[in-house]
């Protein structure tokens, strides 16, 4: 057993991280890059566990150090997972302040930032100062899709670890071994996800995810007229909103209840001050509770927006995969298609359109993703895309 067992098809990376955990080539800042699904955050967590490992061979996976890091409870390892659209200056300053503390044990104080490309310019400048002058036992592990997604002043001070998209066969084998997925389902999920480990696992284990994908892949055959395009856009957005509501509702309810409990129902705040009248204390507590609740609602709204964008991006990725396969069939490229379960529909599309029109459709999907990243109205962006898909 090893903490690196979760890294699929990344043997070169594993060996490099093992060497660093032994002290060979160790540095204070690391940049984990790779396409979506390659395992950037998995690699960072595994490396953090190896750095805190108490066994003779770093990353044993069974010692207390490894176990607590993987469980997310190690006192000297902090995971920063952006819930909203970005990581701002305030959050970066708080993070840098905590990073300056000495580790409680003999190992490293490890700061893992997933999606570090969401750092605002101001936040990146704050982080840069901490990386330029790091605490002696602090190490930063930053995860981004590509090195270019981070400002050059930070990435130039990091050792880059580049991950690749895992082979489909390796992902299927992982699903069979780790999740006890039957062979046909594992092969389907790995192929449909194009090697994206997280999406493959979701497709293999979640019937609702498979149903959502199937609904997206039916869209190209539905675009008979303008009305059908608008209806399809509306249905897709409603489906995504329902998915997001299901994902966030329970968490938001728990967060709000916890905050209200912290302040006391009705704004009670015993002990907030001496020499104040009960009414003054209550008014002060009420204002504090109201401010905290407003801040929480802002974070929840930002997280919901981010979750919606992520869900839409998954749908657009599935749609792009469909047209990619159509293009493969049109060009006779001789490579495997990802959506073999939709081969009949794709062959029909391939026969009734040209490779040039398929490329234009792929461009339309890319343009929609860019519009969503620029905070465009989701429904209008989807409608525009589907009208372009129909036009070809």
Q: Is the model's pLDDT at 281 over the cut of 80?
A: no
Report the first-to-last Cα separation within the chain, whole angstroms.
51
Contacts of 337 (CB under 8 A, 6+ apart): 325, 328, 329, 343, 346
Higher pLDDT, 111 or 9: 111
- Residue 223 DSSP SS3: coil
Are the CB atoms for 376 and 308 separated by under 8 Å? no
Tokens (6 digits) for 321:
């995969």
Higher pLDDT, 350 or 286: 350
Instruction: Report, as an integer, the average pLDDT of 30-38.
Output: 92
- Residue 162 DSSP SS3: strand
Cα–Cα distance for residue pair 92/130, rounded to 1 Å: 10
Distances from the Cα of 326 to the Cα of 335, 358, 364, angstroms: 12, 7, 15
Cα–Cα distance for residue pair 204/144, rounded to 1 Å: 26
Whole-number pLDDT of residue 279: 59
**% of the chain residues with pLDDT over 90:** 70
Tokens (6 digits) for 60:
């044993």
> Residue 154 — pLDDT band, cuts 50, 70, 90?
very high
Tokens (6 digits) for 58:
């770093």
Cα–Cα distance for residue pair 33/141, rounded to 1 Å: 11
Determine which of 33-37, 50-54, 71-75, 281-285 has the lowest per-residue pLDDT on average. Answer: 281-285
String of DSSP letters for 187-219: HHHHHHTTT-HHHHHHHHH-HHHHHHHHHHHTG
Whole-number pLDDT of residue 83: 75
Q: Read off the DSSP letter of residue 22.
A: T
pTM (2 decimals)? 0.78
Are the CB atoms for 17 and 50 separated by under 8 Å? yes
Q: Is the model's pLDDT at 204 over the cut of 50?
A: yes
Encode pLDDT of 295-310 as tens digits: 777 777 877 888 888 8
Higher pLDDT, 264 or 24: 24
Cα–Cα distance for residue pair 2/58, rounded to 1 Å: 9
String of DSSP letters for 25-90: T--SEEEEE-STTS-HHHHHHHHHHHHH--SSSS--SSSHHHHHHHHT--TTEEEE---SS-B-HH
* Average pLDDT value for the chain: 89
Instruction: Report, as an integer, the average pLDDT of 327-341.
Output: 92
Give one word for 61, left, alpha or beta, with left for phi > 0 and alpha for psi -120 to 50.
left
The CATH H-level superfamily of 3-162 is: P-loop containing nucleotide triphosphate hydrolases (3.40.50.300)
Q: HSE-up of 221 (CA within 13 Å, CB side)?
A: 16
How remote is the C-alpha of 286 from its chain's centroid? 36
Are the CB atoms for 152 and 144 separated by under 8 Å? no
The neighbour count for residue 261, using CB atoms within 10 Å, is: 9
Whole-number pLDDT of residue 41: 94
How remote is the C-alpha of 388 from its chain's centroid? 29
The domains of the chain are located at 3-162
Whole-number pLDDT of residue 277: 53
Distances from the Cα of 51 to the Cα of 18, 69, 93, 103, 319, angstroms: 9, 10, 25, 12, 41
The neighbour count for residue 277, using CB atoms within 10 Å, is: 9
> Residue 278 — pLDDT band, cuts 50, 70, 90?
low
Q: Is the model's pLDDT at 390 over the cut of 80?
A: yes
Q: Is the model's pLDDT at 259 over the cut of 90?
A: no
Whole-number pLDDT of residue 304: 82
Instruction: Report, as an integer, the average pLDDT of 243-250.
Output: 82
Q: Is the model's pLDDT at 267 over the cut of 50?
A: no
Q: Is the model's pLDDT at 251 over the cut of 90?
A: no
Tokens (6 digits) for 57:
């061979």
Instruction: Report, as an integer, the average pLDDT of 158-184.
Output: 93
Q: What are phi and psi of 269, to 5 degrees?
A: -145, 60
Instruction: Report, as an integer, the average pLDDT of 46-57.
Output: 94
Q: Is the model's pLDDT at 180 over the cut of 50?
A: yes
> Residue 284 — pLDDT band, cuts 50, 70, 90?
low
**Number of continuous H segments (helices) and E segments (strands) in the chain:** 15, 5
Determine which of 35-39, 122-126, 180-184, 245-249 has the lowest per-residue pLDDT on average. Answer: 245-249
Whole-number pLDDT of residue 329: 96
**% of the chain residues with pLDDT over 70:** 94
Q: Is the model's pLDDT at 331 over the cut of 90?
A: yes
> Residue 253 — pLDDT band, cuts 50, 70, 90?
confident
Q: Is the model's pLDDT at 357 over the cut of 60?
A: yes
Output the CA angle 106-80-312, nearest 5 degrees: 150
Whole-number pLDDT of residue 272: 42
Whole-number pLDDT of residue 51: 96
The sign of the CA dihedral 277, 280, 286, 290 is negative
Instruction: Report, as an integer, the average pLDDT of 330-334.
Output: 92
Whole-number pLDDT of residue 282: 63
């Amino acid at each position: 057993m090893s903490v690196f067992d979760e890294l699929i098809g990344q043997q070169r990376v594993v060996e490099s991280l093992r060497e660093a955990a032994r002290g060979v080539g160790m540095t204070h800042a690391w940049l984990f890059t790779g396409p979506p699904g390659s395992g950037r955050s998995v690699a960072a967590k595994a490396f953090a566990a190896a750095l805190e490992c108490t066994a003779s061979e770093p990353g044993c996976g069974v010692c207390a150090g490894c176990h607590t890091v993987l469980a997310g409870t190690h006192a000297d390892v902090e995971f920063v997972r952006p819930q909203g659209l970005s990581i701002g200056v305030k959050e970066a300053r708080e993070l840098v302040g905590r990073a300056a503390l000495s580790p409680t044990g003999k190992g490293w104080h490890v700061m893992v930032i997933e999606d570090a490309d969401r750092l605002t310019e101001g936040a990146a400048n704050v982080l840069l100062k901490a990386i330029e002058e790091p605490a002696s036992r602090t190490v930063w592990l930053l995860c981004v899709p590509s090195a270019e997604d981070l400002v050059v002043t930070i990435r130039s001070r990091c050792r880059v670890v580049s991950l690749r998209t895992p082979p489909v066969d390796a992902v299927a084998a992982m699903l069979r071994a780790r999740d006890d997925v039957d062979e046909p389902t594992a092969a389907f999920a790995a192929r449909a996800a194009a090697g994206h480990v997280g999406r493959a696992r979701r497709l293999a284990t979640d019937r609702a995810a498979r149903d959502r994908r199937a609904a997206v892949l039916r869209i190209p055959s539905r675009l008979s007229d303008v009305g059908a395009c608008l209806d399809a856009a509306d249905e897709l957005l409603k489906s995504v909103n329902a998915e997001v509501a299901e994902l966030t509702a329970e968490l938001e309810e728990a967060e709000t209840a916890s905050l209200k409990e912290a302040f006391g129902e009705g704004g009670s705040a015993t002990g907030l001050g001496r020499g104040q009248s009960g009414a003054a204390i209550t008014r002060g507590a009420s204002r504090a509770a109201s401010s905290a609740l407003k801040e929480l609602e802002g974070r929840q709204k930002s997280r919901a927006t981010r979750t919606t964008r992520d869900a839409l991006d998954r749908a657009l990725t599935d749609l792009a995969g469909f047209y990619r396969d159509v293009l493969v069939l049109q060009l006779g490229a001789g490579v495997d298609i990802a959506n073999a379960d939709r081969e009949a529909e794709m062959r029909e599309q391939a026969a009734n359109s040209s490779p040039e029109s398929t490329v234009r459709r792929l461009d339309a999907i890319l343009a929609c993703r860019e519009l969503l990243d620029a905070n465009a109205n989701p429904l209008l962006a989807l409608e525009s895309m589907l009208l372009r898909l129909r036009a070809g």
